[in-house]
Amino acid sequence: MKSLILAIFLIILGVGYFVKEVSASPICPGDANGDNVVNILDLSWTVSHLHMGTAPYQYGDVNGDMIVTMEDLDLEAANFGRQCLIVGGLATD
């Protein structure tokens, strides 16, 4: 139900919301959905899974501690707007 409410809210804002199971990578700090950009989609993914236990770097756990917490949101906020390019397996800005 929380995901549905969040999806409706984002659609109203014109952002769009696409739910898919992804495994974020620690290569791009703050990137929760694995698209190498830290944006509103990452924040919404993390908020929708807040306080849930999970495998490292999945469902919004961007710091790899196996639970989605405010620390993950802080990391996303610190990197908001960052776009990482993968060059030879390493992330660059």
Residue closest to 18 by CA, chosen among 9, 28, 7: 7
Please state, in angstroms and as integers, the Cα–Cα distance from residue 3 to each residue in 50, 65, 89, following that order. 11, 22, 32
How large is the average pLDDT for residues 17-29?
61
How large is the average pLDDT for residues 39-59?
93
- pLDDT digits 0-9 by tens, 62-80: 999 999 999 999 999 999 9
What is the third-level CATH fold of 2-92? Answer: Type 1 dockerin domain (1.10.1330)
Can you give the pTM of this predicted structure?
Answer: 0.68
Amino acid identity of 4? Answer: L
With 60 as the cut, is the pLDDT of residue 89 above it? no
Please state, in angstroms and as integers, the Cα–Cα distance from residue 40 to each residue in 22, 37, 53, 54, 87, following that order. 16, 10, 22, 21, 24
- Give the residue extent of every domain in the chain: 2-92
